[in-house]
Amino acid sequence: MGMAEMKILVTGADGFIGSHLTEELVKRGYQVKAFVYYNSFNNWGWLDTVPKEVMHNVEIFQGDIRDPNGVENAVKGVDAIFHLAALIAIPFSYHSPDTYVDTNIKGTLNILQAARKNNIGRVLITSTSEVYGTAQYVPIDEKHPFQGQSPYSATKIGADRLAESFYRSFELPVTIVRPFNTYGPRQSARAVIPTIITQLLAGNTTINLGILTTTRDFNYVLDTVNGFISIYESDKTIGEEINIATQKEISIGQLAEELIRQINPNARICCDKERLRPNKSEVNRLLGCNKKIMQLTDWRPQYSLEEGLKNTIDFFSKNMDKYKTDIYNL
């Protein structure tokens, strides 16, 4: 089948990464069915901001990933599934872990069951670098041990292992895609880069952050999206779990300094106790190994951090009305 006949279901298409993925798949000539979270406002999340000429090629399916019946209907007639729908905020998972089990574990199970029933050709399950916990060695390759340092992380480990079991038990063509921290336009204000950018753009000269010494490996969102598509377009990735990483790390303090340099050199950083995570829960260091994705696909990162941050600042400066800058977003 040519691309034009291939239909891909993207769950979480209304979210940050999912909306960019939907857009890029359409640009590459795929048909997309976008699974968005049902609400009575008929709000399609970030897809509401995607250009009309792109959205003409997208079929919207409104549903709830926690509902097996709806998921089964969504899966009918598609060739592949990119499953991104999840609850992702770590602080929120501390006080509402049930919803994380329902959405992340049960939601993934619903996708796996429906995919198996409908003989879907490829299933990409989205994982996260958080499953590794604090680096026990770097760079973190796919053989690194898992550690559930937050209820969020624990549910993602559970979802990944369920996906693996469907590959091993039923030969479902599953791939576990594991992006390290992704940032860019449309990211939620609860994430660290938007937190810093929105505070700076709001004119704050004191930037409130949690711990500054932790390091992360940041992917620009279009690099993450290209990672998904490259993994899908390679036959060698079935049954594998694969990191998407730049293999470079930066501390939150250094990151804040770079953003301050680009937006307002007079600002300074302040550690806000409310934003600190419990000591054993904080992931102190993440630095991903990208050898496997480079071996199995033609993916290479295209964006430098400086360039990615510039594009992100540009987006936020035009969309400040969509963000609540005066509160701590969980």
**146 Rama sector, left if φ>0, alpha if ψ -120 to 50, beta otherwise:** beta
Phi, psi of 162 (to 5 degrees): -60, -45
Q: Which of 176, 179, 154 is nearest to 166 (CA)?
A: 176
Counting every residue written for the chain, the total comes to 330
Q: Which H or E run includes 10?
A: strand 7-11
Helix, strand, coil % over all residues of the chain, rounded to 5:
45, 15, 40
Residue 108 CB partners (closer than 8 Å, separation 6+): 83, 125, 159, 162, 163
What three-state secondary structure class fits 125? strand
Q: Report the 10 Å Cβ neighbour count for 230.
A: 19
Catalytic residues: 152
Is residue 287 within 8 A of residue 250, CB to CB? The reply is no
Is residue 21 within 8 A of residue 13, CB to CB? The reply is yes
Q: Which of 176, 154, 62, 164 is nearest to 105 (CA)?
A: 154
CA torsion 3-7-12-16 (nearest 10°) is 20
Two tokens, residue 85: 């729908």
173/27 Cα distance (integer angstroms): 25
Q: Which of 159, 118, 128, 109 is nearest to 33 (CA)?
A: 118
Is residue 1 within 8 A of residue 62, CB to CB? The reply is no
